[in-house]
Amino acid sequence: MQRRDMLKLILAGATAFATPFSFVSRAYAYATHGASDTRFLLVFLRGGYDAVNVVIPVSSSFYYESRPTLAIKKPNANDPESALGLSHGGKAVEWGLHPALKDTIYPLWQQKQVAFIPFAGTNNLSRSHFEVQDSVEEGLPNESHSMRSSGFLNRLSGVLGNAAAPVAFTDGLPVSMTGDLLIPNVSLKGTGPAPLVDRQMALLADMYAGTRFESLVNEGFKLRKDIAEQDTMMRSENRNAISARGFELEARRMAGLMRDKFNLGFIDVGGWDTHVNQGGVQGQLANQLGNLGGGLAVFARQMGSAWKNTVVVVISEFGRTFRENGTRGTDHGHGTVYWILGGAVHGGRIAGEQVSIERKSLNQDRDWPVLTEYRALLGGMFQRMYGLDATQLGRIFPGATPRDLDLV
């Protein structure tokens, strides 16, 4: 029996487990890792979020012409439905932040703990969700995309060696974590009390005692126990009130694990494909942003003193069309906006190359161009964060030239 099949059997037998976990091949012994203090979390917004209505080009008349029902008003301190001004470097306000992020992300901006990078993304011009998601997570040159050999976070873990303690907070292992190294994934959804877990765990432990799978099984049980204990603690703090099962709750659990156990994480958040009735100040996108911002703010708080050594990068497979469509939504686009958050991030600024927002600057007369390629951007960040040399960076992002934007 192979390990993958053995673990499927364990999970099938332990049906009372409220948190599914799996190890694609062998689990990392996270408890014994000599992990680095540096923590990195990649948040992938699946569906292609509408970056233009999140970090808003408020000085562009073309923006307001292109979005008659979706546009967010220019910053006005007396109007709660207007954009929040993102002053940077003493320049006039050129950008604004969606007001749904006023109480969550905007305070981090004011504390210079978040930076935004417009016109970011991949050189892959496809507008297929699956094609571009896989391409981004692989981190390979476009011509090598079909190789499907490994993901860039797996390769980063390999370069870092014993200093890496990686995990994916997902139901299944994401492409970015696949490869030669065998990385655990754990879903944080639906964690809760399970009355039969102890008995089932004891039976399964006895079944595999003395076999080559014993340590692997015990590692999986320990991870489940850690999450359950964390959930019990949070229930107690909230006087057992029922919490919304959204990103904010997952982020709270995730912070506990990244603070104490792991230092390289991945999570994805879906629901960003807003073709119809996207909304402006209120609506689909605003609700999504409220949940996302709330989760990221909670994550920052729950990391405690470890936040100063933490970097969170929020990305999406692509942006959306600059003009709104006929159903008051937006369609698949190209360039997007990346978010960089962390206690030591050089934030409070709009980073990277920029162009004026007008029709002639659009890609194919429909969406933002990509001026900051994501492999170059992340390569420059990893170089600073981990002190990697050119050879090591070449293993993570083959053929990419790192671009240092002084973000960390």
Contact (Cβ atoms closer than 8 angstroms) between residue 111 and residue 93:
no
Q: Within this chain, do residues 129 and 259 fall inside the same structural domain, yes or no?
A: yes
Residue 179 maps to a domain: yes
What is the model's pLDDT at position 4?
42
Closest CA to 26 of 220, 224, 260, 159: 220
What is the model's pLDDT at position 408?
94
Q: Within this chain, do residues 201 and 216 fall inside the same structural domain, yes or no?
A: yes
As to burial, measured by CB atoms within 10 angstroms (0-12 exposed, 13-18 middle, 19+ buried), residue 36 is middle
Q: Within this chain, do residues 151 and 199 fall inside the same structural domain, yes or no?
A: no
Residue 174 maps to a domain: yes
Residue 404 maps to a domain: no
Q: Give the end of a domain, one of 226, 244, 262.
A: 244
Residue 403 maps to a domain: no
Distances (CA, A) of 4 to 23, 25, 151, 182, 260: 7, 6, 19, 11, 26
Q: Give the end of a domain, one of 205, 228, 244.
A: 244
| Structural domain containing residue 212 | 1-32+192-244
Q: Give the end of a domain, one of 208, 224, 244.
A: 244
Residue 361 maps to a domain: yes
Q: Within this chain, do residues 321 and 240 fall inside the same structural domain, yes or no?
A: no
φ, ψ at 308 (rounded to 5°): -70, -20
Q: Within this chain, do residues 95 and 220 fall inside the same structural domain, yes or no?
A: no
Q: What is the DSSP string of 177-240?
A: G-SSS--EEE--TT----TTHHHHHHHHHHHHTTSTTHHHHHHHHHHHHHHHHHHHHHHHHTTT
Q: Within this chain, do residues 100 and 179 fall inside the same structural domain, yes or no?
A: yes
Give the 3-state secondary structure of residue 332. Answer: strand
Rounded distance between C-alpha atoms, residue 189 and residue 334, angstroms: 31
Q: Within this chain, do residues 153 and 196 fall inside the same structural domain, yes or no?
A: no
What is the model's pLDDT at position 31?
34
What is the model's pLDDT at position 204?
72
Q: Within this chain, do residues 15 and 80 fall inside the same structural domain, yes or no?
A: no
Phi-psi map region of 112: left, alpha, beta (phi>0 left; psi -120 to 50 alpha): left
Q: Within this chain, do residues 140 and 52 fall inside the same structural domain, yes or no?
A: yes
| Diameter over CA atoms, the chain | 71
What is the model's pLDDT at position 215?
76
Residue 406 maps to a domain: no
**pLDDT per residue of the chain (408 residues) written in tens, 0 to 9:** 444 444 433 433 333 333 444 433 333 333 333 347 899 999 999 999 999 999 999 999 999 999 999 999 999 999 999 999 997 655 545 899 999 999 999 999 999 999 999 999 999 888 888 899 999 999 998 766 555 679 999 999 999 999 999 999 988 899 999 999 999 998 876 544 444 466 667 777 777 777 877 777 777 777 777 666 656 554 443 323 222 347 888 899 999 999 999 999 999 998 899 999 999 999 999 999 999 999 999 999 999 999 999 999 999 999 999 999 999 999 999 999 999 999 999 999 999 999 999 999 999 999 999 999 999 999 999 999 999 999 999 999 999 999 999 999
Q: Is the pTM of this model over 0.85?
A: no
Q: Domain tally for the chain?
A: 2
What is the model's pLDDT at position 377?
98
φ, ψ at 53 (rounded to 5°): -100, 10
What is the model's pLDDT at position 36?
73
Q: Within this chain, do residues 316 and 389 fall inside the same structural domain, yes or no?
A: yes
- What is the residue whose two structure tokens read 């040399």? 389
CATH code, domain with 257: 3.40.720
DSSP state at residue 363? B
What is the model's pLDDT at position 89?
54
Residue 405 maps to a domain: no
For 382, other C-beta atoms within 10 Å of its C-beta total 24
Q: Within this chain, do residues 286 and 376 fall inside the same structural domain, yes or no?
A: yes
What is the model's pLDDT at position 218?
76
Closest CA to 84 of 289, 362, 344: 289
Q: Within this chain, do residues 9 and 77 fall inside the same structural domain, yes or no?
A: no
Residue 250 maps to a domain: yes
DSSP state at residue 43? E
